[in-house]
Structure 1
Amino acid sequence: MSDLQFKRHRRLRRTESMRALVRETHLQTDDLIYPIFVVEGEQVKKAVASMPGVHHVSLDNLSEEMNELEQLGVRSVIVFGVPNEKDAVGSQAYHEEGIVQRAIQHIKGAHPNLTVVADTCLCQYTDHGHCGVIRDGDIVNDESLELITKTAVSQVKAGADVIAPSNMMDGFVTAIRQGLDEAGYSQIPVMSYAVKYASAFYGPFRDAAHSSPQFGDRRGYQMDPANRLEAIREAESDVEEGADFLIVKPALAYLDIMREVKDRFNLPLVAYNVSGEYSMIKAAAANGWVNEEEIVMEKLTSMKRAGADLIITYFAKDAARYLNQ
């Protein structure tokens, strides 16, 4: 045996302190952005059936949620609204008294140190559930951009720190950037859903946001899961148009795409750890099939390792508790 020549990699794995010393990828609470679903009404904190631990929350219960996040060290949220009224053009998305606008005002008023990201789309607000305006059965691009830009401006006027357009209309970064600049909000960054696939992992979110399409699907504007080079073209367009962050959604099934985007573009990269990825783990853990803490931390670390600087995740509270132990 003394004549054998090989490298002893295990030397750096012997103890927990040694493993921590040489660890290459680190997850921390500042990396996490927590999604919250705000609804009309009072004293509402209603569980989303398909997403254990996630709730619909009314404005008067927002402070309880924000206090918990601040205590855990999570300093960023992304706000989704679930309005009572919907119409063909999603007018509640850009109404000054819309549910998201009021939620942003509430959060920033009581918790000014939290970073509030506003999801900017029409699908929760349209009676047909699509992300744009429909003409002759088609989701029209340029007319939709006008309403999406109005939505972004109204959200910033309410106090949003970051605009996150998720509609996947062509040119949405250019339109929003121009609209914000003209309204005097040139300092507000755009966190673009640059690479958003038409994924089966979105099912529980549509339950939470009440945003399922009433006809057809979103494959005409969201990306084909089989495509890699198209993702680079999408991200490149958004960089050229002035995006400040790039989101890849979903995250877990697209770690290869995240790595390519990160390697090619020098902007902060955001992984969206979507609802289906969340609910699968919650269901498996509830059945005793997996160790929830271990698998959550392994999964989130894999996103950081693939290049993510930030992670939008429904596990933000859980992960923060694990990190704070």
Structure 2
Amino acid sequence: MSFPLVRHRRLRRTAALRSLVRETVLNREDLIYPIFVTEGSNVKDEIASMPGVYHFSLDRLEEEVRDVVDTGVQAVLLFGVPESKDAEGTPAYDPNGIVQKAIRKVKGWAPELVVIADTCLCQFTDHGHCGVIHHHAVTGDAEVANDASLELLVKAAVSQAEAGADIIAPSNMMDGFVHAIREGLDANGFEQIPILSYSVKYASAFYGPFRDAAHSTPQFGDRKTYQMDPANLREALREAESDIQEGADMLMVKPALAYLDVIRMLKENFDLPLAAYNVSAEYSMVKAAAANGWIDERAIVMELLTGMKRAGADLIITYHAKDAARWIK
């Protein structure tokens, strides 16, 4: 049958009708809010390239946690900026490191809040890479050493679990990182702690503002030898499948906006919960355009996040989380 018998506009005629047949609904429970914690006291410093996002010292962190809880957001992702760094990222696995201290604080203030710990070395190494550096025996070139890095990442994950993290989220993109961390958690009595793997993490230009926030810009080279080529799609299947075989409980695609096809592909091929990371530059572009009066920020944010969920994301990590949670009716 065709027009005039079929009139698609019939179901768009009123707001109530549109709501009744809406296929994709964004919920507060879908959102995860990243927080940057730093050493020091009385610190609440806005990150210049990420308006509305702050560095918090531990003595100012509670106000942010209370605000998150008040919005109805049920999970946070913690990143730490340490006081000092070294070649092996020692503060990442220090029991009294900034992330470990923050985890204990947050769980004390809001036990019901799901605390996710980002597990990487880049914020804690003086060279800014996500693993330890070895020099090639012949050429002398600096290389990120995969297997040596795994040992330190396991130490970091275990220390975060000991501090009370509900979920470990390794973001380093070393080969075998899920297997190593799963074994390490299990051997230390943390069999119940799930792993949210940054399974498909691209070497993206969309991370720029985050590197300002986390003070994690590489001091030489780039991360293209371990993060994925943005041109590759099928490789994402291999990465995700490896992580599932190694014991991942949830998968992630990062970034989100330019990779909606990747999100859809993973959703269609795997049945694990799937997260999308709406990353820093995606956030900052919206904030910049809104500040110039070029866009309706609320409408744009809700459309973008709904698009990520429609593509297949079950969870969305986003710096818009608090605002979006307040806008959701």
1:85–1:236 distance in 2 versus 1, CA, 3 Å: same
Instruction: Determine whether 1:268 maps to 2:273.
Output: yes
For the residue of structure 1 that corresponds to 2:328, the secondary structure is: helix
Match of 1:251 among 250, 256, 265: 256
CA-based RMSD of the aligned residues comes to: 0.9
2:85 maps to 86
Instruction: Determine whether 1:168 maps to 2:167.
Output: no
Q: Distance in 2 between matches of 1:12 and 1:146?
A: 57
Instruction: Determine whether 1:218 maps to 2:223.
Output: yes
1:4–1:191 distance in 2 versus 1, CA, 3 Å: closer
1:322 maps to 327
Letter in 1 for 2:313: A
2:124 maps to 125
Q: Distance in 1 between matches of 2:31 and 2:61?
A: 18
Matches within 5 A, 1:1-325: 5=4, 7-136=6-135, 137-324=142-329
Q: CA deviation at 1:311?
A: 0.3
- TM-score, normalised relative to structure 2: 0.97
1:17-73 deviation line (CA, Å, top 9, x unaligned):
110000000101110000000000111100000000000001011110111111110
- TM-score, normalised relative to structure 1: 0.98
Which deviates more, 125-134 or 60-69?
Answer: 60-69
Q: Distance in 1 between matches of 2:5 and 2:309?
A: 31
Q: Distance in 1 between matches of 2:98 and 2:208?
A: 23
1:105-140 deviation line (CA, Å, top 9, x unaligned):
000011100000000000000000000000010000
Q: Distance in 2 between matches of 1:14 and 1:314?
A: 34
Q: CA deviation at 1:7?
A: 1.7
Alignment size in residue pairs: 322
Q: CA deviation at 1:321?
A: 1.3
Q: Unmatched 5+ residue regions in structure 2?
A: 136-141
Q: Distance in 1 between matches of 2:270 and 2:57?
A: 38
Letter in 1 for 2:276: A
Q: CA deviation at 1:206?
A: 0.1
> Percent same amino acid among aligned pairs?
68
Q: CA deviation at 1:296?
A: 0.2
Q: Distance in 2 between matches of 1:5 and 1:309?
A: 38
For the residue of structure 2 that corresponds to 1:221, the secondary structure is: coil
Q: CA deviation at 1:6?
A: 5.0
Q: Distance in 2 between matches of 1:275 and 1:118?
A: 18
Q: CA deviation at 1:5?
A: 4.5
Q: Unmatched 5+ residue regions in structure 1?
A: none
1:108–1:4 distance in 2 versus 1, CA, 3 Å: closer
1:322–1:4 distance in 2 versus 1, CA, 3 Å: closer
Letter in 1 for 2:34: P
Q: Distance in 2 between matches of 1:69 and 1:95?
A: 27
Q: Distance in 1 between matches of 2:67 and 2:215?
A: 25
Q: Structure 1 runs of 4+ off > 2 angstroms?
A: 3-6
Q: Distance in 2 between matches of 1:319 and 1:5?
A: 39
